[in-house]
Amino acid sequence: MSVQGALSPVGPEPAPVRSGAAPVRDDVEHGDARRRRVLVTTVSSDAHTWNLVYLQKVIEELGCDVVNLGPCVPDDLLVSACLEHRPDLVVVSSVNGHGHQDGLRLMRTIARCSELSQLPVVIGGKLGIDGGADEDRPAELLRAGFRGVFEDSPASLGQFRSFLARLPSRAEP
Ligand code: B12
């Protein structure tokens, strides 16, 4: 599946909200006026699709354009798509339980591409096989290079919206 959306924002961007609970690196600056482009993907092992559709809609509601790569995305394909679309943010969603391990490997692959060294990447969903959030996983994923980790919890979607509202758009190449 390859979907490129261009819906209008349904309202003004929410004011930045600082959530002390979200495991998010604090080096994201405030944005400018250009519509931000967000690439939505999952990891190579993950066949679940509705999580990606759901996230696409959430992100479009916040006034971003979305490129949705669909399920089972090989790491190299994601790198190529980033070079092609030059997104302001990559959102990795995984629910099959392998998101943690696949996410660490994916980040190592992205890190090997110097052109993507400044690209913010976040991950969320059900990242382990236990179904719930884990205390150590977010820290490990942040150390690996993810800018934010949004494991399933009642608060995680709100925290993700706040993160997105604060995301700057990069200058056009
Ligand atoms: C439908 C489904 C399938 C379908 C998927 C079809 C398709 N085309 O999508 C099929 C049958 C293929 C399938 C297969 C498997 N599945 Co399945 N599947 C489901 C099911 C029933 C619904 C998923 C769904 O569509 N939800 C609707 C979407 C909108 O919600 P969501 O996926 O939960 O995503 C939300 C959040 O996770 C969050 N979120 C997700 N990503 C991100 C990212 C960010 C940044 C943020 C902020 C939030 C966020 O936001 C979303 C909206 O709230 C769930 C159980 C359930 N009731 O949730 C199991 C479930 C996800 N599957 C599960 C498993 C284990 C599997 C299999 C491994 C089973 C097997 N042994 O083969 C395989 C894996 C296949 C693979 N290679 O990935 C487990 C995962 C367990 C875990 N992680 O701990 C679940 C939870 C079932 C269970 N309770 O055990 N599955």
Give the CA angle between residues 140, 144, 149 to the nearest 5°. 60
Domain assignment present for residue 171? The answer is no
- Give the pLDDT of residue 29: 43
Residues touching ligand 1 (Cβ under 6 Å) are 45-51, 54-55, 91, 93, 95-97, 122, 124-126, 129-131, 150, 152, 156-157, 160
Best probe residue, ligand 1, of 48, 59, 127 (max atoms within 8 Å of C-beta): 48
Domain assignment present for residue 82? The answer is yes
Domain holding 157, by residue range, is 35-166
Q: Which residue has the tokens 């798509």?
A: 81
- Of ligand 1's listed atoms, the one at least distance from the Cα of 127 is 83
Domain assignment present for residue 97? The answer is yes
Domain assignment present for residue 44? The answer is yes
Domain assignment present for residue 111? The answer is yes
Q: In this structure, are residues 51 and 95 in contact, taking their beta carbons and an 8 Å threshold?
A: yes
- Of ligand 1's listed atoms, the one at least distance from the Cα of 132 is 84
Domain assignment present for residue 146? The answer is yes
* CATH number of the domain enclosing 143: 3.40.50.280
Q: Please give the tally of structural domains in the chain.
A: 1
Q: In this structure, are residues 71 and 50 in contact, taking their beta carbons and an 8 Å threshold?
A: no
Is the pTM higher than 0.75? The answer reads yes
Domain assignment present for residue 43? The answer is yes
Domain assignment present for residue 20? The answer is no
Q: Give the pLDDT of the chain (173 residues) as one tens digit per residue.
A: 444 333 333 333 333 333 334 565 544 444 445 789 999 999 999 999 999 999 999 999 999 999 999 999 999 999 999 999 999 999 999 999 999 999 999 999 999 999 999 999 999 999 998 866 677 899 999 999 999 999 999 999 999 999 999 988 765 55
Best probe residue, ligand 1, of 40, 95, 130 (max atoms within 8 Å of C-beta): 95
